[in-house]
Chain A
């Protein structure tokens, strides 16, 4: 691999290096069509039903942050992967890897938070596992959750559904989660009113699919790698161009200022309670109105389109009417001084 002989942090960043790792090592080894689709959830036919199946691991630092914690994140994140695949989440599993020395009280708080998040979504954590590793072998606690959901019959989602002219909607302000977590990291700590958007997006996804059916072409929760990674994935997998408008992208002013302070591109920053939806143009306004009618989608906006006759790149039309290409992020945002 181009990146050298050792795994770098960027390999886990959901950007270019993650992609390279998956394509060069994982896909060839596991070699199956379902996996190669690299969708948010795998779809399995069981009798007449379609079951969606997904997994995710959570290694976030710090484990408690303004707006959530690793427990809430682990539940919501996996629920979200099912929801954006057009499935109604049914149940999740939870595997814990705990570092020796973690305070029991801390574990209790995390578990309580996970339980609450699951309860709010009417989901049960039906199976799990607990491991403890020696002090130093894990950073406080790592959590893996896997989830299954029943695909909604009205859901016709996939890269193949996307056509030029389709509209791109984002369900709210971007960069909140990533910047919140960043602001509490060693070396760049600063006090802030920033708050993670960590939340389940089930309501917005199921409403969109139930009401608009196959006018909803594709949905994704733009987590690691942010909007940039998600949109580049669309361009790459569909071979269509993507055009978005800087001025239309909703951003909380505090988040924007924090990103400027550190030199980050807000498009590359993770979100944990948002979706992007590619919908047919004729239903775009109605979809937007629906999103905005829900608490989690009150800041929703139409941000761009699937371009006609364009190269499979993501282009941003800037505030001064310039154009620039938005690349798949490297996978690690480093604070700059210059």
Chain B
């Protein structure tokens, strides 16, 4: 293991020399952020390589408007909210789902299938499925929608805020002054979309896109590959997660997703509007569409005054440079996405900052 880490260091050093500055690699996956944090990887890696935590998990990027809509629906006696656990602590303008659980109508589920089961078990209630997640999670919602439609289920409502990762990556790269040199690409999104999906980014922006799994050694080797490409000036798509990822991805999953969703513009917390980045159910699923059936008031403008997550996400500033950091924005009282996610850039910095000061 030590040998492979040393090899990685050599590549990182080479890239650092070639570029003549620090290398910034963005990992666009909440699960990568957690893996990196849990393995203490930032500590293992040399200072000349900086890992930026991108907008990579439903927790981080769900905008206040969406959460506020869910929260207002949770006030209704005829509605049961079915949500993945990730969403419970995302803050809206006036609190989070966590603060509403005393009513007993918020159910944490671990599969979209559970929402269907709830609908069948409670025919006198309306089940609102909080459908968030990236391309890995979207197909499950698609299956749910199709099954519910085929079985004639009348009390299930899907509130889709599914997001697409490639438009977000492109939006970040289109920001002036961004500092992203390469992407560590999400392993499980890539299982669905295929590693070829990153080719347009490489072609247009000339940035390495390397897919990695989640074991710490896999991540280190992926970073080594990234640095090797940067040193040689040969940005490309590479996958180091062959056990699960193919160039074409999961065609069945892609098909059911394309047949069930339309791509629309959407709001990302801290980043604002990103064109063609969000999925909404197609017309044929109108009867299941929460926005159409439940009178949802969706207010996309956000109230995150002073929040500089956008700049943190692009690698332009460090969390400490944001005025809200460690003041009004803290892990237990988060404002922007970088603190909302317990392993986001700001949350992670908050945990490390005390120790770093000692050095």
Determine the interface band of chain B, counting residues with CB < 8 A from chain A: 35 or more
Are A322 and B85 in touch, CB under 8 angstroms? no
Interface-side segment among B16-24, B31-39, B69-77, B318-326: B31-39
Report whether A322 and B39 are in contact in the complex, using a CB–CB cutoff of 8 Å: yes
| Contact indicator B42/A322 (Cβ below 8 Å) | yes
User: Chain A nearest CB: distance from B332 CB in Å?
Assistant: 6
Chain B residues, CB < 8 A from A321:
40, 44
A4 in the interface, Cβ–Cβ < 8 Å? yes
Contact assessment for B99 and A320 in the assembled complex, using a CB-CB cutoff below 8 Å:
no
Cβ–Cβ contact B57 & A320, under 8 A: no
**B38-49 interface code vs A (CB 8 A; 1 in, 0 out):** 111111100000
Chain B residue numbers with a CB within 8 Å of A93 are: none
A323 at the interface (CB under 8 A from B): yes
Say yes or no: A320-B110 contact (C-beta < 8 A), given A4-B99, A16-B332, A313-B355: no
Question: Which of A4, A318, A319 is in CB contact (< 8 Å) with B95?
Answer: A4
Contact between chains at A338 and B39 (CB < 8 Å): no
Give the distance to chain A from B123, nearest Cβ to Cβ, in Å.
18
In Å, the complex CA distance between A30 and B95 comes to 31
Q: Say whether B285 faces chain A, with CB atoms less than 8 Å apart.
A: no
Interface majority SS (helix, strand, loop, mixed), chain B: helix
A6 to B98, CA, bound (A): 11
Q: Is the CB of B43 within 8 A of A311?
A: no
**Of all chain B residues, which has the CB nearest A334?**
B85
| CA–CA, A325 and B349, complex, Å | 11
- C-alpha spacing A264/B101, complex, angstroms: 21
The reply to whether B43 and A8 form a contact with Cβ atoms under 8 Å apart is no
Does A317 make an interface contact (CB < 8 A)? yes
Contact present for A336 and B85 (CB under 8 Å) = yes
Q: A188, A311, A322, A334: which has the most chain B beta carbons within 10 Å?
A: A322
> Does B275 sit at the interface, judged by CB under 8 A?
no
Question: Residue A320 contacts which of B5, B89, B333 (CB distance < 8 angstroms)?
Answer: B5
For B107, what are the chain A residues with a Cβ–Cβ distance below 8 Å? 186-187
Count of A interface residues, CB-CB < 8 Å: 35
Instruction: Tell me the complex Cα distance, A114–B110, Å.
Output: 34
Which of these, A313, A315, A324, contacts B37 with CB under 8 Å?
A324
| CB neighbours of B352 from chain A (8 A) | 325
Q: Which of A4, A313, A334 lies in contact with B354, CB distance below 8 A?
A: A313
Task: Report the bound CA distance from A187 to B34 in whole Å.
Answer: 23
User: Which residue of chain A has its CB nearest to the CB of B34?
Assistant: A263
For B110, list chain A residues within 8 Å (CB). 187-188, 262, 335, 337
In the complex, residue of chain B having the shortest beta-carbon distance to the beta carbon of A316 = B40
Q: Which residues B100-114 have CB closer than 8 A to chain A?
A: 101-102, 107-110, 114
Asked whether B266 is an interface residue with its Cβ less than 8 Å from the other chain, the reply is no
CA A319 to CA B216, docked complex, whole Å: 9
Nearest to A4 among chain B residues (CB) is B99
Q: Does A116 contact B (CB under 8 A)?
A: no
Asked whether, in the complex, the Cβ of B43 is within 8 Å of the Cβ of A335, the reply is: no
Picked from B38, B101, B108, B137, the residue with its CB within 8 Å of the CB of A188 is: B108
Check B311 for interface membership: any CB of A closer than 8 A: no
- Our pick among A4, A6, A262, A337 for the contact of B137 (Cβ within 8 Å) is A337
B85 touches A335 (CB 8 A): yes
Whether A324 touches B332, Cβ cut-off 8 Å, given contacts A335-B108, A336-B85, A337-B84, is no
Asked if B58 CB lies within 8 Å of chain A CBs, one says yes
Within 8 A of A (CB), among B262-305: none
Is A154 close to B, CB under 8 A?
Answer: no
Min CB gap A48→B, angstroms = 45
**Does residue A39 face the partner (Cβ distance < 8 Å to B)?**
no
How far apart are B130's CB and chain A's nearest CB, in angstroms?
A: 11
Q: Which of A297-338 contact B (CB under 8 A)?
A: 311, 313, 315-325, 327, 330, 334-338
Per the bound structure, the CA–CA distance linking A323 and B351 in Å amounts to: 12
Taking a contact as CB atoms under 8 Å apart, the answer to whether B216 and A325 are in contact is no
Q: Is the CB of B108 within 8 A of A318?
A: no
Residue B59, interface by CB 8 Å: yes
Contact flags (1/0) for B86-102 with A, using CB distance below 8 Å?
10110000010011011
Give Cα A263–Cα B31 distance, bound, in whole angstroms: 9
B243 interfacial contact with A, CB 8 Å: no
A320-B109 in contact given A3-B332, A336-B85, A338-B86 (Cβ < 8 Å)? no
Q: Are the C-beta atoms of A319 and B86 separated by less than 8 Å?
A: no
* In-complex Cβ contact of A336 among B42, B86, B134, B217 (8 A): B86
Question: Within the assembled complex, what's the spacing in Å between the Cα atoms of A48 and B270?
Answer: 64
Q: Is the CB of A265 within 8 A of B38?
A: yes
Contact A323 B102 (CB under 8 A): no
* Complexed CA–CA distance, A16 and B38 (Å): 19
B327 contacts the other chain (CB 8 A):
no
Given A8-B98, A188-B110, A338-B58, verify A320-B220 contact (CB < 8 Å).
Answer: yes
Q: Which of A262, A319, A324 is B43 in contact with, Cβ under 8 Å? A: A324
Closest to B188 in A: A338
Residues of B within 8 A of A337 (CB): 58, 84-86, 110, 133, 137
Give per-residue flags for A1-25: 1 if the beta carbon is below 8 A from chain B beta carbons, else 0.
Answer: 0111010111000001100000000
Q: Give Cα A36 to B269, complex, Å.
A: 42
Chain A stretch 193-237: residues in CB contact (< 8 A) with chain B: none
Residue of A nearest to B29 (CB): A338
B residues in contact with A8, CB < 8 Å = 98-99, 101
20 sampled A-B residue pairs with Cβ under 8 A: A2-B333, A8-B99, A8-B101, A17-B332, A187-B107, A263-B85, A311-B355, A317-B40, A318-B38, A320-B39, A320-B41, A320-B44, A322-B42, A324-B38, A324-B351, A334-B86, A337-B84, A337-B85, A338-B133, A338-B137
10 closest A-B pairs by CB: A322-B40, A334-B85, A324-B40, A335-B85, A322-B44, A318-B40, A320-B216, A338-B57, A323-B43, A322-B43
Interface residues of B (CB under 8 A from A): 1, 5, 30-31, 34, 37-44, 57-59, 84-86, 88-89, 95, 98-99, 101-102, 107-110, 114, 133-134, 137, 216-217, 220, 330-333, 342, 351-352, 354-355, 358
Known: A263-B34, A334-B86, A338-B134. 17 other contacts (CB 8 A): A6-B99, A186-B107, A187-B109, A262-B110, A263-B85, A319-B216, A320-B220, A322-B40, A324-B38, A330-B331, A334-B88, A335-B85, A335-B108, A336-B85, A336-B86, A337-B84, A338-B30
